[in-house]
Amino acid sequence: MVFSFFKKPPEKMVARPAAAPVRAKPEPSPAAGPAGMPGSAEEKDAPRELAPLDFTTSNIQSPAAAAPAMVSPSDFSDLSESPEGFHVEMDVDPVEADVEQAAVLYANGQDAATGAVLENAVHVHHFGPGERLWLMLFDFYRLTNQHAPFDALGIEYARAFEKSPPVWRGAEAPKPAPKPTAFSGTVIFKGSLTGENDAAFAALDEAIEKNPKLRVELNRVKDIDDLGAERMLGVLEMVRKKKREVELVGRDAVASLIESKIAVGTRENAGCWLLLLEFYQIMGKETEFEDMAINYAVTFEMSPPSWDPKRVAKAEPKPSPAAAVDDGDDEEDTAASTAFVLKGDLKSERFGGLPAVADKEDPVVIDFSAVTRIDFVSAGTLVNLLTPAKRAGKRVIIKHPNHLVAELLGVVGLKAVAEVVFAKN
């Protein structure tokens, strides 16, 4: 057998190594050794390297870098949570803050703290809206029977606000008072004192039946006739028989109306003559009574009533604001309005009888002139009881509260339901 020495041996498959990632590195300098020379065997076998890219330069950016970054919602912090130690404070009216603090302290029976807050506040707020705090302090001194500080505050008030200060009304230190009697209070006689005003006389009779003591406001009476005078005499006679107490307010003006209706020697309007004698008796005008009695005897040839010193009433009080809150047409004002009277310190008060008054009357008048203090529970109850009347379109009036009580009523939201009428100084 002949062997060829020139036979090509079979080729073996050699696995190539995996391509290594291209790494940016500095280009070899021309001064490198022979392995780095162009055209060398090592250069041909070695994989070709890419030139490095400089990502730090400002003028060369990758597409990804040029595009806006996508941010997931989780990357945002919860804006509703403030960082620890960081507090957001809302603007607070300093006058309103002091007013509310003093009103709440007084409602809670903390008189010493109330006085301290108000005395400090009037030295800070001595202009414009700060007058509310001064008026609260005036009432605080009056209710706690501090006459000397009241007078000293009056001098400072006149300097600060350039007007007359409130006057001392002779209040004594507040004392617990009995619960108010339901339906006791004031009845306003609306319209003319004439015989045909059945609605007003019916309301007056009803109020007398329900009240052992009653104020009858006559300030709106603009006219009177003989039959109306006789009906009023009948009402007063019924009061005496039932041993009730009625205080007539505005009787001086009505007496002047009656005087214009009578004439000596003219046998007319006998009812007006007798009602005028009754008013002179109540008003304590003995001289006028005696002169009128003689004229009555001459004119009607009848014996007149006799003077009775025991029937003289106290001096006529000032009319309440409720008697003048409605200046509408007298033709429409033919009904009487009964005020619901409250007295003393009101604690956990339920206001028995008020819903019936609020359901019947318009305007609904709540007399606070004798209230010294009211707590939160009572104030909240009052809001709830008066809200239906307000929603029904009725006028609701809080009459003559002191400023400490009025500001607490404002704190609980009663001013959105009712008007507040302060007493005149």
pLDDT of residue 340: 87
Q: Is residue 19 part of a domain?
A: no
Do 206 and 224 sit in the same domain of this protein? no
Say how many domains are in the chain: 3
Q: Is residue 412 part of a domain?
A: yes
Instruction: List the beta bridge partners of residue 322.
Output: none
Domain end point (choices 311, 336, 364): 311
Residue 199: CB atoms within 10 Å: 14
Cβ density class 109-138: b for 16+ within 10 Å, e for less: eebeebbebbbebbeebbeeebbbbbbbbb
Residues 106 and 200 in one domain: no
Residues 325 and 418 reside in one and the same domain? yes
Do 289 and 204 lie in one domain? The reply is: no
Residue 134, domain CATH: 1.25.40
pLDDT (0 to 100) of residue 234: 92
Pair 301, 347 in one domain: no
- 293 lies in some domain: yes
Residue 286 exposure: Cα atoms within 13 Å on the Cβ side:
6
Which helix (H) or strand (E) covers residue 351, if one does? none
Contact (Cβ atoms closer than 8 angstroms) between residue 139 and residue 169: no
Segment among 153-157, 250-254, 294-298 with least mean pLDDT: 250-254
Last residue within a domain, chosen from 285, 311, 337: 311
Residue 83 forms part of a structural domain: no
- For position 351, which CATH number holds? 3.30.750.24
346 and 416 housed in the same domain: yes
The pLDDT assigned to 213 comes to 83
* Contacts of residue 215, Cβ cutoff 8 Å, sequence gap at least 6: 185, 186, 187, 246, 247, 249, 317, 320
Higher pLDDT among residues 405 and 34, named by residue:
405
Residue 22 has a CB neighbour count (10 Å cut-off) of 11
Same domain, 212 and 323: yes
Q: Are residues 184 and 276 in the same domain?
A: no
Closest CA to 343 of 317, 361, 366: 366
* 40 in a structural domain: no
pLDDT per position as a tens digit, 350-377 = 898 888 888 888 889 999 999 999 999 9
Per-residue CA distances from 207 to 182, 184, 204, 275 (Å): 11, 8, 5, 21
Q: What is the pLDDT of residues 153-204, one digit of tens each?
A: 999 998 889 888 898 875 444 444 444 443 357 888 888 999 999 988 988 8
Give tens-digit pLDDT for 100-141: 999 999 999 999 999 999 999 999 988 888 999 999 999 999
Does residue 210 sit within a domain? yes
Q: State CA 91 to chain mean position distance.
A: 20
- Specify whether 346 is located in the same domain as 306: no
Host domain of residue 115: 94-161
Looking at the structure, do residues 289 and 422 belong to the same domain, yes or no? no
User: In terms of domains, do 370 and 276 share one?
Assistant: no
Rounded-to-integer distance, Cα 120 and Cα 108, Å: 19
* Residue bearing tokens 């007295």: 343
**Quick one: 323 and 425 in the same domain?**
yes
Q: Which of 252, 278, 311 is the last residue of a domain?
A: 311
Q: Is residue 80 part of a domain?
A: no
Residue 77 domain flag: no
